[in-house]
Amino acid sequence: MARFIVRRSLSAIALLFAVSVVVFGIFEVIPSYNPARAIAGRNANAATVAEVSHKFGFDKPVYVQYLNTMKLIFTGQVIDYQDDLNVVDQFKHKFPVTLSLVIPAAILWFGLAIVFGSISALRAGKFADRAVMVGAILGVSVPVFLLAALLLYVFAFKLSWFPNTGYSGLSNPTQWAYHLILPWIAIAALSIGFYSRVLRSSILDVSTQDFVRTARAKGLSNRRVFRKHILRNSMMPVITMFGLDFAVLLGGAALVTETVFNLPGIGQYEAQAIGNLDVPPILVGAMFTAFFVVLFGALSDILY
């Protein structure tokens, strides 16, 4: 276990370094990218732009800029270029909103995927199987932004069953859930369909293994064989995918849903930063995502 932890820690450091270098380097090779101009404003004269460039160190070599930026990130002092706000503080403030969005949605899609995938596999070739697979194909075919917009239009604007947009804190749990039901559905729908198909295939594959036939030969009931032997072993690929998807969503990949429903989470913050070519929030977001990918990847391995 100690060796595993050391190996994972080293891989995490290597991944964070690689991600930071790649993201920082991408902006350096964009011809039109000029952070000094973005900070000073479009109407600023050349002297003002040069002053801003010197103040923030943009006139220094690229490797010096990178090292200075990373130092500011790890000391919690990095500032975004657009609003002059502390990026780390912004992430701390917005992360609970993203957690409120991602965790219930993940529970929803994981639980329903197990139910639908199991039903589909146990009723393979029958009506229930075909119905689940048709629903799964529809789920993975509709883009998240389109589904989110449709949910918002139908259930918020037309039927007025749910609020249009916005976020309500956990101080009022009822309003909190009321504002997030549609976003949860928007995020979960695609994953339910995809995970159901993967689990169905895995169950059908595991069902043909020798240890399953041995369990049945011992006289175990079909329910016990399925629960203790088939389903447990079929969950391995699903758990791996779940860990990675959950990590990416926590890192801000729910930006489409947060933007459509106007949820002030990390995803919306990252979307605004990308639109403004604001490097510090983008860099912190990429490293944030990489950290969660390593963390949940390790947890998935431990669960095996």
69, 94: one domain: no
- Determine the length of the chain: 304
- Higher-confidence residue of 298 and 205: namely 205
Q: Is the pLDDT of residue 304 over 80?
A: no
109, 59: one domain: no
Q: Is the pLDDT of residue 15 over 70?
A: yes
Beta strands in the chain (DSSP E): none
pLDDT at 105 (0 to 100): 92
Q: Is residue 81 part of a domain?
A: no
**Cα distances (Å, whole numbers) of residue 96 to 91, 92, 102, 148, 261:** 9, 8, 10, 21, 16
| Residue 86, beta-bridge partner list | 79
180, 207: one domain: yes
> pTM of the full predicted structure?
0.83
Of the candidates 133, 267, 269, the one whose C-alpha atom is nearest the C-alpha of residue 192 is 133
Final residue belonging to a domain, choices 33, 50, 74: 74
Cβ(193)–Cβ(138) below 8 Å: yes
Residue located via tokens 């963390």: 295
Q: Is residue 82 part of a domain?
A: no
| Neighbouring residues of 301: CB distance < 8 A, sequence distance ≥ 6 | 4
Q: What is the pLDDT of residues 155-211, one digit of tens each?
A: 888 888 888 777 887 788 888 888 899 999 989 988 898 899 999 999 999 888 888
Of the candidates 194, 188, 183, 190, the one whose C-alpha atom is nearest the C-alpha of residue 143 is 190
60, 133: one domain: no
58, 105: one domain: no
235, 127: one domain: yes
CA distance 280 to 81: 8
For every residue of 150-211, DSSP letters joined together read: HHIIIIIIIS--S-SS----TTSHHHHHHHHHHHHHHHHHHHHHHHHHHHHHHHHHHTTSHH
pLDDT at 110 (0 to 100): 93
- Higher-confidence residue of 25 and 4: namely 25
Residue located via tokens 């918002």: 152
pLDDT at 279 (0 to 100): 83
Cβ(291)–Cβ(16) below 8 Å: yes
Q: What is the pLDDT of residues 26-54, one digit of tens each?
A: 877 776 677 777 777 767 777 887 888 88
Q: Which of 98-102, 164-168, 294-298 has the highest mean pLDDT?
A: 98-102
Q: For the chain, what is the mean pLDDT?
A: 84
pLDDT tier, 106 (very low <50, low <70, confident <90, very high otherwise): very high
Q: Is the pLDDT of residue 107 over 90?
A: yes
Q: Is the pLDDT of residue 112 over 90?
A: yes
pLDDT tier, 1 (very low <50, low <70, confident <90, very high otherwise): low
What φ, ψ does residue 191 adopt, rounded to 5°?
-70, -35
pLDDT at 202 (0 to 100): 92
pLDDT at 232 (0 to 100): 86
Final residue belonging to a domain, choices 12, 45, 74: 74
pLDDT at 111 (0 to 100): 93
| Neighbouring residues of 65: CB distance < 8 A, sequence distance ≥ 6 | 24, 57, 58
Q: What is the CATH number of the domain that holds 280?
A: 1.10.3720.10
SS3 readout for 153-167: HHHHHHCCCCCCCCC
Q: Domain span at residue 93?
A: 87-303
Q: Is residue 235 part of a domain?
A: yes
Q: What is the mean pLDDT of residues 236-253?
A: 83
Question: Environment class of residue 160 by beta-carbon count within 10 Å: exposed (0-12), middle (13-18) or buried (19+)?
Answer: exposed
DSSP letter for 251, please: I
61, 98: one domain: no
126, 207: one domain: yes
Q: What is the mean pLDDT of residues 18-23?
A: 86
Residue located via tokens 């990918």: 293
pLDDT at 303 (0 to 100): 63
**Cα distances (Å, whole numbers) of residue 206 to 93, 101, 195:** 45, 34, 16
91, 225: one domain: yes
**Within 56-171, where are the H helices?**
62-74, 87-122, 127-141, 144-151
Q: Is the pLDDT of residue 68 over 90?
A: no
69, 108: one domain: no
Q: How far apart are the first and last CA of the chain?
A: 13
Q: Is residue 262 part of a domain?
A: yes
